[in-house]
Amino acid sequence: MQPTMTNKSRPGFWSGLALWKKILVGMVLGVAAGAIMGPDAEMLKPIGTLFINAIKMLIVPLVFCSLVVGVTSMQDTRKMGRIGVKAVLLYLGTTAIAISIGLGLATVLTPGEGLNMVVTDAVAVGKEAPTLVQTLLNMIPKNPVGALAAGNILQIIVFALGLGIALTLSGEKAEPAIKLFESLAEAMYKLTELVMKLAPYGVFGLMAWVAGKYGMDILLPLIKVIAVVYLGCLIHVLVFYTGLISTLGRLNPVRYMKGLLNPAAVAFTTTSSSGSLPATIKASREEMGVSKSISSFVLPLGATINMDGTALYQGVCALFIAQAFGIDLTFSDYLLIIMTSTLASIGTAGVPGAGLIMLSLVLTTVGLPLEGLAIVAGIDRILDMARTSVNVCGDLMVSILVAKSENELDESVYNSSSSEMESQPESTTETQTARI
Ligand code: ASP
């Protein structure tokens, strides 16, 4: 082997670039290559297929481990009893509404219509839609190992949730197993990180193929996807959250909107709910008047399991891909998407790009082609900015509602002008668990 030259190891332009920028470059170059090469660009497709296969490889172990860990990390929920139950119900309930908004908007605004892409993924063709009752009955795996081997996502989710609950209930004796799952989950996050390093190249290959085959017609639908996701996010926060604040909480929604500005701005720029946690906790305590005990329990829990923006995005993208490939989804497919995405949000880490991997899960569940994933991957960062902001606004909203219902909301702080609050000293952020 050649000895390495002792060049000062400054990262080169490419290796120093953030992953999302690389993906964007991959997308732009892919579109350009497709435009120049035309149908010949199909020869670049295998690079994309390699990436898609690597994602497929991740889905089962990643979802299984991260869901088990998601549930066991809720151990405190049991200790906190009523508060925990309220928070979890609000988190999951609002997530289901968010994905319904995403599905509704994408149905009406049809961002993927007219693309006429052709399914080359055998999984997606000739799929018989099961009835809803069948789907519900099939959710319980008769053989969990079989479910893992067959990649039956819904069954895997149900088993993982059950196992997580059982491990939590088993107390001390189950601790080694919990630790094992925690360390396996960490390894899977690492593997995901490694696979995502392939994303710029995979996106390049697939975009070249798509642009070569379908021409520049691909760009407008992508802009539409961005517009629909942003519109959905705005509706979810400005209509639904403020509606809950004024009806369930009987509080002034304008105050809530002022309070969310800081954490939402941090979320928008970092694209990480976990990384935004200090800002969310600060806003919740100092601007909204939520007690320390509620905010330091409900908000870290929310950063882990509450993903309304992510769910909304998954709804839009799933329908976009179905429309782009001309696949009709049945009513039970819609319910399946809502169910999968809501339950999967428990296992979605509050880190940049996690939602994209979970999208592959939703697509697999309803048999949609994963090629679609690489197409939206090019614009994922732009979508991540909006969805993470919504995730964080949802956490803040739930902390306010739970505090109010427990008489732990200082309404004089909530109602006071935010400019007074701005001059307050920094709060302690001992619960910060950022993992960006
Ligand atoms: N980035 C999001 C978050 O941290 C997760 C996602 O990718 O949707 O909340």
If residue 230 lies in a helix (H) or strand (E), which one and from where to where? helix 219-235
Pocket test for ligand 1, best of 272, 312, 358, 435 (most atoms within 8 A of CB): 272
How many Cβ atoms are within 10 Å of 149's Cβ, its own excluded? Answer: 10
Return the residue whose CA atom lies nearest to atom 1 of ligand 1.
352
Q: Taking the model in full, what pTM does it have? A: 0.81
Joined together, the tokens standing for residue 35 give 């435009």
Spatial contact of 364 and 57, defined as CB atoms under 8 Å apart: no
- pLDDT score at 431: 32
CB contact at 8 A, 161 and 144 = no
Compute the distance between CA of residue 391 and CA of residue 381 in angstroms, rounded to an integer.
15
Residues forming a β-bridge with 409: 290
Query: What is the structure's pLDDT at 77?
Result: 59
Ligand 1 centroid distance, CA of 374 (Å): 17
Q: Which two tokens stand for residue 2?
A: 């050649």
The amino acid occupying position 354 is: A
Spatial CA neighbour of 123 closest among 372, 320, 302:
372
Q: How far is CA 202 from the centre of its chain?
A: 20
Tens digits of pLDDT across the chain (436 residues)? 344 444 556 677 888 888 888 988 998 999 999 999 988 988 998 998 898 888 888 888 988 898 888 788 776 655 567 888 888 899 999 999 999 999 999 999 999 887 777 766 544 444 555 666 777 788 889 999 999 998 888 888 889 989 998 998 888 899 999 999 999 988 988 898 898 889 899 989 988 988 888 777 788 888 999 999 999 999 999 999 999 999 999 999 999 999 999 999 999 988 999 889 889 999 999 999 999 888 888 898 888 889 999 999 999 999 999 999 999 898 888 998 999 888 888 878 888 888 998 898 899 888 898 888 888 888 888 999 999 999 999 999 999 999 999 899 999 999 985 544 444 443 333 333 333 2
CA nearest to 290, candidates 397, 216, 214: 397
Domains by residue range for the chain, with CATH: 19-61+90-133+186-433 (1.10.3860.10)
Q: What is the largest CA-CA distance in the chain?
A: 71
Atom of ligand 1 nearest to the CA of 309: 8
Which value, in Å, is the radius of gyration of the alpha carbons in the chain? 22
Spatial neighbors of 257 by CB under 8 A, at least 6 apart, are 238, 242
Q: What are phi and psi of 416, to 5 degrees?
A: -80, 160
Atom of ligand 1 minimally distant from the CA of 303: 9
With residue 409 as reference, give the H or E element that holds it: none
Q: Which of 95, 192, 229, 271 to mutate to test the pocket of ligand 1 (most atoms within 8 A of CB)?
A: 271
- d(CA 193, CA 126) in angstroms, rounded, equals 33
> Residues 394, 241: contact at Cβ < 8 Å?
yes
Name the DSSP class of 116.
Answer: -
What's the confidence (pLDDT) of residue 210? 83
Q: Supply the pLDDT for residue 316.
A: 96
User: Residues near ligand 1 with C-beta < 6 Å?
Assistant: 271-273, 307, 310, 348, 350-355, 384, 387-388, 391
Query: How confident is the model at residue 122, as a pLDDT?
Result: 45
DSSP class of residue 17 equals S
Per-residue model confidence (pLDDT) at position 117 = 77
Sign of CA dihedral 66, 68, 71, 74: negative
